[in-house]
Structure 1
Amino acid sequence: MKTIITIKILVLFFFFSLNTSKVTSQNSDEKAIAIAEEVVNAMGGLDNYNNTKFIKWDFGKRKLFWDKWTGDVRIESPTDSLTILVNINSLTGKAFKGNTLVEDDSETEKLLNQGKNWWINDSYWLVMPWKLQDPGVNLTYVKTEKLPNGNSADVLQLTFNAVGVTPENKYYVYVDQTDKLIKQWSFFKSFNDEDPKFTMLWDNYQKSGNILLSFDRSVFGPKNVIVKQDFKEKLFTDLKYE
């Protein structure tokens, strides 16, 4: 349990655009960019990702609902007796402790920020492959290495240009040369670190809507993913939505 808690704290990603586009940093190299585009195509293509409206998933003990088009997010955290309804663009919304609306402005603001940070972390574990060419990402080809399944993988390094919450982080992602899917990632707390804090598998890719996502993995990660275009609007406005 301690390992899982540590992992969730470490991967607090720096920024997150709602949809993605090809605005790669000038510090990225051409080989890495080409491989990243192969990843996106293997997972369904950029248009299909951007056209995906609604994603629901579980991460640890939290349940998250995300309207990608508006930035509205609902987070249910039973262990904290919290339900947070936040728009991650405007940081507006409301929070409930149990069945009671939090009415204190400063406490509400704190909880909305907490909700956004949870979403940043939890969604990156789900849709990271789609974010390789986001603005501020430096993408570099590092090496070729064998995966646990025996296939060769292209290893890409992600560093960041002074953006978001933790720009000092670094990641390695391992792209299987056979099917062009990310099968493993490593997290480094600092871009100067030689050894990662962890290396974990990305497996069990499943078709979700019109895209591929890795979930219900053999090790820690997002679970019970649902991708669809329609949902109940009250999810993002009311405590009770049934």
Structure 2
Amino acid sequence: MLRKIIKGFGILLGLLIIGFVVLYAVYNEKLPEGRLGPDADALAQKMLNSLNHQKFKDTRYLEWSFQGGAHHYKWDKEKRTVEVSWDDYLVELDLISTASSVAKKGGERMMDMESKPIIEQAVAYFNNDSFWLVAPYKVFDDGVQRSVVPLPDGTDGLLVTYTKGGTTPGDSYLWMLQPNGFPKSFKMWVDIIPIGGIEATWDDWAVMESGAFLPKTHQLGPVTLSMGDVRGYNE
């Protein structure tokens, strides 16, 4: 009986490996080479202008959730603090000095040694989940490399590489834009996804109370990433 189970597991593992190899061969794309320089900066600025970037800059509070409501956020951009909550945890995250952050479990403040991995987890959640909310506004962040990539349809894409910062520096994203510069999707070359060039939509936008554009959902093939009840406001 044990031999049959082991044999069955081996067959299943083999099929999974073959399936991955096929998917990799069919869907994997090589990271394109772009053209650095003023044209790339101009294209990035065109994208920001289409989104009315100043409205986003002036927005003080951002609220959203991620992974079906598993992670919840309230971000005070002015104070540079974020309330991050999941399961029974609440972290009052200090983005300037993470060592000053406070972690609670069940409403009770955690001891320093206990809280450290929870705060680190909150930072990782925030870095990932906030990117899906505000990525277009980060194209001129410190350490970002921008380049222009000619696309098959004759338009230009904006290739953005984060050379430092965040949780996974080195990740690259190729933005596809409407003629006016408004973002509609990007392709990803990221550390956590072994297949390069997976595309995610950025076409489900809403105008916030503050006037800023923020996305409500993203589509990655059959998978929908919901941003929950998204809010952007000042009071």
* Distance in 1 separating the partners of 2:194 and 2:152: 16
Which residue is equivalent to 1:196?
196
The ranges of structure 1 where at least 4 consecutive aligned residues each deviate by more than 3 angstroms after the TM superposition are: 160-165
TM-score, scaled to structure 1: 0.72
Letter in 1 for 2:157: V
Indicate how the Cα distance of structure 1 residues 124 and 164 shifts in structure 2: closer, same or farther if over 3 A, else same.
Answer: closer
Which residue is equivalent to 1:58?
65
The structural deviation recorded for 1:221 is 4.1
Query: What SS does the aligned partner of 1:223 have?
Result: coil
* Distance in 2 separating the partners of 1:199 and 1:35: 20
Which residue is equivalent to 1:48?
55
The Cα offsets for residues 84-143 of structure 1, whole Å up to 9 and x where unpaired, read as 1111111122212223321x2122122122112211111110100011111211100011
Aligned pair partner of 1:135 in 139, 142, 154? 142
Query: What SS does the aligned partner of 1:121 have?
Result: helix
**Residue 173 of structure 2 corresponds to residue 165 of structure 1:** no
Q: Which runs of 5+ in 1 are unaligned?
A: 1-26, 147-151, 231-242
* Distance in 2 separating the partners of 1:184 and 1:114: 28
Which residue is equivalent to 2:39?
31
Q: CA RMSD in A?
A: 2.3
* Distance in 2 separating the partners of 1:65 and 1:117: 15
TM-score, scaled to structure 2: 0.74
Report how many residues are paired: 192
Q: Which has the larger radius of gyration?
A: 2
* Distance in 2 separating the partners of 1:164 and 1:120: 6
Aligned pair partner of 1:175 in 168, 177, 183? 177
Alpha carbons 1:215, 1:222 under 8 Å: kept = yes
**Residue 233 of structure 2 corresponds to residue 228 of structure 1:** yes
* Distance in 1 separating the partners of 2:57 and 2:186: 23
Alpha carbons 1:125, 1:221 under 8 Å: kept = no
Which residue is equivalent to 1:212?
213
Indicate how the Cα distance of structure 1 residues 168 and 161 shifts in structure 2: closer, same or farther if over 3 A, else same.
Answer: closer
Report the identity percentage: 22
Indicate how the Cα distance of structure 1 residues 128 and 153 shifts in structure 2: closer, same or farther if over 3 A, else same.
Answer: farther
More helix by share: 2
Letter in 2 for 1:206: A
Please give the residue correspondences for 1:101-140 in structure 2 after superposition, counting only pairs within 5 Å: 101-102=109-110, 104-140=111-147
**Residue 108 of structure 2 corresponds to residue 100 of structure 1:** yes
Alpha carbons 1:204, 1:215 under 8 Å: kept = yes
Query: What SS does the aligned partner of 2:170 have?
Result: coil
